[in-house]
Amino acid sequence: MIKISHMSKIYSTKGGSVTALDNVSLNIGKGELVAIVGQSGSGKSTLMNILGCLSTPTAGRYTLSGQDVHNLSFDERSLLRRDKIGFIFQGFNLLPKMSAIENVALPLMCAKVSYDERVRRAKDALCRVGLERRLNHKPHEMSGGQQQRVAIARALISNPHLILADEPTGNLDSSSGDEVLRLLIEANKAGHTVILITHDEKIARRTDRKICISDGRIISDINQ
Ligand SMILES: Nc1ncnc2c1ncn2[C@@H]1O[C@H](COP(=O)(O)OP(=O)(O)OP(=O)(O)O)[C@@H](O)[C@H]1O
Ligand SMILES: [Mg+2]
């Protein structure tokens, strides 16, 4: 499903250039549950942003579900993101003035689904993550763990092939973190490919495959 070959990403800044990814090659199959680990600054988010078509590599090739991402226009990449990828971030990234239902329904708005259908599916998704009693709450009226569950519901609503989670438990206590991980594992069992960045060795251990990045290179790739 994911094929990356000889990929590099070099950021140019006033202070000089930074090689964030250095000749990375990687294949990830449909239905895998993968953890990406590595020290701060090792290139994990850079890799995730490229996988999510949020940024483009300086060199190398990325094929997602048979599509060569390099050849797509900006708009085509946006469509690919909308239809095939769900994102979960450490800081939840919910819209503060919107309710849980509205936040979750947002990806469907761009996909031109009718209002009634959007609300029905958003309620459904929120029930699946155990938030049936928080449908109309705004983010600031919910705990961090609940906000992250809203973000998971939002990531799942368009039934994407690929779920990318960048430190999804980074801002959570261990029991909320466990719940978030449980939901991601459940999503994986339901057929979604899940790629998860984490600093937490305990979380990485519960995935099927652990890829370790150091200084922009893959230094180990273990099936566990
Ligand atoms: N937009 C940018 N411009 C310049 N340099 C960047 C940019 N984004 C990241 N970098 C640099 O690229 C390297 C990799 O950064 P990245 O964010 O991918 O690390 P990370 O592994 O996600 O770290 P963390 O665990 O702290 O989130 C770092 O040295 C960082 O300083
Ligand atoms: Mg990061």
Averaged pLDDT, groups of 10, the chain, 224 residues long: 96 94 97 96 96 95 93 92 93 96 90 90 95 97 96 94 95 92 95 94 94 97 94
CA angle 220, 213, 46 (to 5 degrees): 145
How far from each other are the two terminal CA atoms of the chain, in whole angstroms? 20
What is the structure's pLDDT at 18?
95
Substitution candidate for ligand 1 out of 7, 9, 14, 45 with most atoms within 8 A of CB: 45
What is the structure's pLDDT at 112?
78
Can you tell me the distance from the alpha carbon of 6 to that of 20, in angstroms, rounded to the nearest whole number?
13
Can you tell me the distance from the alpha carbon of 51 to that of 68, in angstroms, rounded to the nearest whole number?
12
Q: What predicted TM-score, i.e. pTM, was given to this entire model?
A: 0.94
Long-range contacts of 63-70 (CB under 8 A, 24+ apart): 63/2, 63/3, 63/4, 64/1, 64/2, 64/162, 65/1, 65/161
Q: Which residues are bridge partners to 191 per DSSP?
A: none
CA–centroid distance, 43 to ligand 1, in Å, is 6
Can you tell me the distance from the alpha carbon of 19 to that of 29, in angstroms, rounded to the nearest whole number?
27
What is the structure's pLDDT at 196?
97
What is the structure's pLDDT at 84?
93
CA–centroid distance, 10 to ligand 2, in Å, is 16
| CATH code linked to domain 2-223 | 3.40.50.300
